[in-house]
Structure 1
Amino acid sequence: MRRALFHAQRGTGATTPNPLVGAVVVTPDGVVVGQGRHPRAGDPHAEVLALDEAGERARGATLYVTLEPCNHQGRTGPCTRRIVQADISRVVAAMPDPNAAVDGGGFAELRRHGIAVDVGLLADAAARLNQAFITVQTRARPMVMVKAATSLDSRMAAAPGVRTPLTSRQANRRTQRLRAAVDAIGIGSGTLLTDDPVLTVRDCYRFRPLARVIFDRRLRTPPGARVFSTLDAGPIMVMTTAAAISRQPERAQALTSAGASLIEGAGELGADLRRLLAWDISTLLLEGGAAMHAAAWTAGVVDRVHMVVAPIVLGDDGVKFFDGLPVPLSRLTPVRVETLGPDAWMEADVHGNR
C-alpha cells in the first residue's frame, strides 16, 4: 500500500477534479506485477493501468489501491468491471470514496462477484493525500491552505502598506514547490496593491496552468497590475460583488479587457470559495496579508497551514499576523517542522472547519 500511495502522490497537481489514486498488483507469492497511477482527468484510472501492466499475471492476485474503485460510468468506464474481468481474488483499499456516486458501491460490486475486500490499510495517510478531493465532496468547496511568513514577533510587515521581504532563498524555493502543487493561488486586493505580485511558479514544473484568484469586494484591482502580464501562466479571476461592478462599470470593463474573469461573489469567503469549483479548482493556496488570513480563519475554511518564521524582529509598528490564535490548539495537528536556511517552516492540519 505504501507503494500505491507513492504512485498516487506523483499525480499531485495534475488530476483535478479527480482524486489522487495509485494501485499495485501483487501475486500470491508476493511479486509485484503491475503498478499504476491516475495521471489526469479523462485518462485511465490507476487500477486499469496496473492491471494492464500485470496482464494474465493478475489472475488470482491482490490489488492494492489507495481509494475505493469506482463503479459508475464517467469519462472512463467503471474500474470494478475491469477488476472482475482480470479475475483478481482480493482488493485491499486504503479508504472508501467520499463521492456520493461511489459511496461503497464499488466494494459492494466487487463482493457481489466473490472478490474479497479489505478496507482501511494506511487510511490516515490516504485521507491526507486526498484531503482536497474529500473537502470538495463533503464540504462543496476547495481545500484551503494558508501560507504566511512572519517575524519572530509575529509581524507580517514593518508597517501597514509597506512591502517587507522576510524569508530566505531556501524558503522561497519551497513556496514555489507549494505553488506548483495547487490549482490556484489566492490573495486579497490589499496585497495586490502593496506588493503588485505576478503570482507565478518559478523553477518548478506544473502539469496545468495555475489559476490566480484576487478577492476584491470593492473592485480596487488596477487593470495595469503586473499579474495581467502573465496571462499565459493561467487564468486570472477577480472575486468581487455585483454591487462593486455596478458602481464601477468602467473599471470592470478595463479589468475584463486586461484579461480578468470577474466572478460575482457574495462578499463572504465561505460562499465565494464554492464558486471556484466551476473552474476545477480543488486546492487554493492563500498567500494574502493579515486581512485575507483573518477572513479565512473567521470563515472557518482553513484546512492546512504553512507557516514560515524568519529570525528577525519588526517591533510594535509591524503588522500583526493575528492578536491571538483564532482556533483552539487542539484543532491544529503539526505535520512537520523544518529548517530552511535561517527560517523555520511549520506545516499543520486544521480539524473541525466547515
Structure 2
Amino acid sequence: MIADPSVFSPEQPYDRRFMAAAIRYARRNVGRTGTNPSVATLIVRDEGDGRPPRIVGRGVTALGGRPHAEAGALAEAGELARGATAYVTLEPCAHHGRTPPCAEALVTAGITRVVSAASDPDPRVDGKGHRILLDGGLKVTPKVLAEEAARNIAGYLTRHRSGRPGVTLKMALSRDGRIGLRGEGQVKITGPISNAQTHLIRAQTDAIMIGAGTALEDDPRLDCRLPGMSDRSPARIILDPNLRLSPDMTVVRTARDTPTFVVAFADADPERRAALAEAGVSFVACDTDPETGRVALPELMEDLGATGITSILVEGGAELASSFLADGLVDRLILVQGGIEIGEAGILAPVGLAEARQRFPLVRDQRFGDDHWYEFDCGVA
C-alpha cells in the first residue's frame, strides 16, 4: 500500500459532484455481482473552453461480476477517454485474470487522471492499482467520498477484512420496544412504505437469515416482492440445528425456486434431512458452541464467507438477534419503529433505540409514513 500522500494529486472543486454521481450509479447492481463488488466508473471530459465538464462514458460492474465498471465506461467513451478523468468508486484492480487489470486499461486508454473513492483491501489490489496508474504517468486522487462509497460494498469489504460476510440486523419495533407476541405468529408493526424499503434491502443482499423458531411460528416467504424484482430474491438461510422444519413449510416448498440452506448439526434426524433434501433444500454443517449448545455463529459466518456470500440480512427473532450482537457480528443495525404499542405481553427487542443510540453511530434517520427508520453503523468492519 502506498503510504506517502505526497504522490497523490489534490482534490478538484467538482470531484465530489462526479463521485457522488458514480456512487449512485454503482447502486444499480448491488447484490447482483457475485463475489465482486458493484463498482461504477464515470469518464469525464473537461475541454477547458469554459463549458462545464461532461460525462462521456459510464460503466457499472456487470451481473455476475464481469466485466468490471472501467471496461464498460471506456468502451462507451471510446476516443473521448483520451485526456479525460475517470471517477471510480473503488481502487482499480491490479491483478491479471482473463483480461488485463483495470488500472492498466485506464493507462492504455489515455486517461490522464483517476479519482477513486474506497480503498480495496483485496491483497491483490490494496494500493497496487494506484501504483500502476502513477507509474503510467497518471495523476491520482484517492479517498474522495470514501465512506459513502464503502457503504455500497460493505459486505465485500467485510469479507476481505474479517473473512466473513457483512451482516445487517433488521428489526421492527413497536413504540414500546416490542418485536412481537410469543405464539401469535407475525405481528404487523410497520406500514407499506417501510416494508417496501425492507424488500429493497433484500434485493441488494446475497442471503437472508432467520432461526427455526421464526420459521415455525411465521412460515415466512423470505423473498423480494417489489414489482418486477422477484428475480432478485436473496438466498435463504435457516438456522435449524435439530431439523424441526417440515416439508410442507413455505421455504421448503419453494426451495427449488429460491436457493434455500438449512444449518444443521451433523447428527440431526436423518429421515427429516432426507425429506428436506428431496424438496431441494441444501445443508450447511455447523459447530456447536460449547457454552450454549447452540450453533457457533463466528465459525458459521466464516464458512459462509468461504462460499462467496458477501452480505447477509438477519431478520430473525430476539434470540438470533441477541446472539449476533453478543458475538460482535453485526455491521449494520436497522431499527424500524412503528406507531403501534404491543404491551407488556410482547417480546422485548434485544436492543432498543435508546441503547442503540448510545452504542453505535446513527447514519440514517428517515420517516416513512407513521414509521421511523433508523440505521446504525456498528463499526465491526
TM-score (norm 2): 0.86
Change (3 A) 1:28 1:125: same
In structure 2, what residue type is equivalent to 1:14? R
Question: Is 1:135 equivalent to 2:158 in the alignment?
Answer: yes
Q: Which residue of 2 aligns with 1:2?
A: 20
Question: Is 1:282 equivalent to 2:310 in the alignment?
Answer: yes
Shift of 1:322: 2.1
The equivalent position to 2:61 in structure 1, one of 30, 35, 38, is: 38
Contact in 2 for aligned 1:332/1:348 (Cα 8 Å): yes
TM-score (norm 1): 0.92
Distance 2:134 2:169 in 1: 41
The equivalent position to 2:285 in structure 1, one of 257, 260, 264, is: 264
Secondary structure of the residue aligned to 1:41 is helix
Q: Which residue of 1 aligns with 2:85?
A: 62
Q: Which residue of 2 aligns with 1:249?
A: 270
Question: Is 1:240 equivalent to 2:264 in the alignment?
Answer: yes
Residue-by-residue CA offset, 1:196-239 (whole Å, 9 max, x unaligned): 11212112415655200001222222222111222354210001
Change (3 A) 1:75 1:168: farther
Contact in 1 for aligned 2:119/2:146 (Cα 8 Å): no
Q: Alignment length, in residue pairs?
A: 350
Aligned positions of 1:1-354 closer than 5 A: 1-29=19-47, 30-74=53-97, 76-160=99-183, 162-204=185-227, 205=229, 208=232, 210-243=234-267, 245=268, 248-266=269-287, 267-322=295-350, 329=357, 331-351=359-379, 353=380
Deviates more, 1:211-220 or 1:76-85: 76-85
In structure 1, what residue type is equivalent to 2:149? A
Secondary structure of the residue aligned to 2:223 is coil
Specify every segment of 5 or more residues in structure 2 that has no aligned partner in the other structure, as ranges: 1-18, 48-52, 288-294
Shift of 1:95: 2.5
Contact in 1 for aligned 2:246/2:252 (Cα 8 Å): no
Secondary structure of the residue aligned to 2:130 is helix
Specify every segment of 5 or more residues in structure 1 that has no aligned partner in the other structure, as ranges: none
Identity, % of aligned pairs?
39
Distance 1:331 1:111 in 2: 41
Secondary structure of the residue aligned to 1:346 is strand
Shift of 1:320: 1.1
Contact in 2 for aligned 1:18/1:40 (Cα 8 Å): no
Contact in 2 for aligned 1:11/1:20 (Cα 8 Å): yes
Change (3 A) 1:209 1:156: closer
In structure 1, what residue type is equivalent to 2:336? V
Where has structure 1 moved over 6 Å in runs of 4 or more? Answer: 323-328
Shift of 1:31: 2.8
Distance 2:109 2:251 in 1: 50
Contact in 1 for aligned 2:164/2:306 (Cα 8 Å): no
Residue-by-residue CA offset, 1:144-165 (whole Å, 9 max, x unaligned): 1111112111111223564422
Residue-by-residue CA offset, 1:7-54 (whole Å, 9 max, x unaligned): 211111211311121111122332322111112234221111111111
Contact in 1 for aligned 2:206/2:310 (Cα 8 Å): yes
In structure 2, what residue type is equivalent to 1:212? R
Contact in 1 for aligned 2:168/2:313 (Cα 8 Å): yes
Distance 2:186 2:55 in 1: 53
Residue-by-residue CA offset, 1:157-186 (whole Å, 9 max, x unaligned): 223564422222222222222211111110
RMSD over aligned Cα atoms: 2.1
Change (3 A) 1:118 1:331: farther
Distance 2:164 2:362 in 1: 23
Secondary structure of the residue aligned to 1:10 is helix
Distance 2:245 2:171 in 1: 22
Contact in 2 for aligned 1:72/1:102 (Cα 8 Å): yes
Change (3 A) 1:58 1:207: farther
Change (3 A) 1:122 1:107: same
Deviates more, 1:112-121 or 1:288-297: 112-121
Contact in 2 for aligned 1:27/1:57 (Cα 8 Å): yes
Distance 1:175 1:96 in 2: 28
Distance 2:43 2:351 in 1: 52
